[in-house]
Amino acid sequence: MSIAISYHADADVSDWILYAAVSMSADVVMYSPTRCRHCDRARALLKRKGATVPQIFIDHRHVGGYDHTFRSFNSRKEMRYKLLGRSGLRVSELCLGAMTFGSPQWGTSEADAVPIYTRFRDAGGNFVDTANEIYGGGQSEEILGRIIAGHREEVVLASKYSLALPGGRNPNLAGNHRKSLRRSLESSLRRLGTDYLDVLWLHAWDGVTPADEIMRALDDVVREGKVQYVGVSNMPAWVAAQCNTLADAHGWTPFVGLQIEYSLIERTAEEELLPMARAMQMAICAWSPLASGILSGKYANPANHEKKRLDTLTLHALDERSQTIAALVGTIARKLGCSSAQVALNWLRAKQNVIPLIGARTLEQLEDNLRCLDFEVDAASVAELDALSASPLRYPHRYLAGVQPLLHAGFHAALDTHRR
């Protein structure tokens, strides 16, 4: 249901209609002669009445004023689902990252994690991602285990092994090898309060464990029923390809997913990792889709004093390039009447078989992220973002791009193929 209200007329009557409409989960379009005054009035009214307004969209094209669109939760598009790579496992098109759960510095307490998880589930999300004790000393898994107790079968639960903090006396505490896998997996299952994981990710390549040891050890835990599917994160494309080739040749369990850093600011995965994943029929889970919050626009506002990822954990440089990209994201967001985070997430959603991994620290952040499901960024804006954020090609891709006319005898532009 949608209701139109004109603030050109009696504002008091308009206030009453607005509150009634939002209470009925209707969409409300306010026609206002000023851009912000009536918008702020409406916000204040709803706050006093205890109503929740997830977002206001402003359309500058309305003749003679502005359109302020209050969209209810119930008007939101339904979450869709994807198959996880070459498996038959159905996962939601957004994955909830639980890295923030229990993190003492910039993370989320258990009391705040519960409504975040509940809202994600209410929105249709079923794919949840965590890791072993590298996430909050195991607090992330423990909190998540308590939250999902009672409905474990409804959730696609993923965790990771391979990383451990320095300072101990056990050199086998970390790594990709069989002993590290066993210790980490058993500890994760205990903390999560479950007897199996739906997905176990190899968190990062250690550079020393042979590919056949990795894949045979992973296949063993799948055959034992402790893991349903396996995936890999932060591994060179040639190693991941070698691992899956060995798995296919020996009848072992292959990687069905690839979890990588991928965003408008970090696009180097497009050179080798994404083409490899397509060839191997691996799903792509994109971690840090907002580049540690840079693409949310929060760093563009000096007056914003909320806790930020880069205050405690440096994963991205807040350099000129990243700020230029973030500025364009903000410009497009203002044009579309949405948030910068939604634009950045929808740029990823427009890519083939990519699942953004959202790591909201607050319920407000999650609500904003979920709004990306309501719309798609237009093709012209996507092309503008692609052009500005593109990474320069490196060898051999730079060379191969230059010799396409020779490789196809001049017919490269006329060749229709599904292999690119």
Report the catalytic residues: 135
Residues 6+ apart with CB under 8 A from 104: 136
Q: How far apart are CA 270 and CA 240, in angstroms?
A: 15
| Helix (H) / strand (E) containing 76 | none
Both structure tokens of 198? 């739906």
* Residue 10: half-sphere exposure toward Cβ, Cα within 13 Å: 4
**Distance between CA 99 and CA 249 in Å, rounded?**
35
Half-sphere exposure of 37 (CA within 13 A, CB side): 7
Structure tokens at 218: 């992973």
DSSP state of 409: T
Closest CA to 93 of 283, 313, 281: 283
Q: Is the dihedral of CA 242, 248, 254, 256 positive or negative?
A: positive
Show the tokens assigned to 55. Answer: 């977002």
In 3D space, the residue among 158, 102, 100 whose CA is nearest the CA of residue 125 turns out to be: 158
Q: Greatest CA span in the chain, whole angstroms?
A: 75
Residue 345: what residue type? L
Which residues are registered as beta bridge partners of 6? 31
Classified as helix, coil or strand, 227 is strand
Pairwise CA distance, residues 40 & 58, whole Å: 12
Nearest C-alpha neighbor of 280 from the set 249, 251, 246, 256: 256
CA nearest 176: which of 224, 150, 215?
Answer: 215
Sheet of strand 27-32, all strands in order from the earlier edge strand to the far edge: 2-6, 27-32, 66-70, 56-59
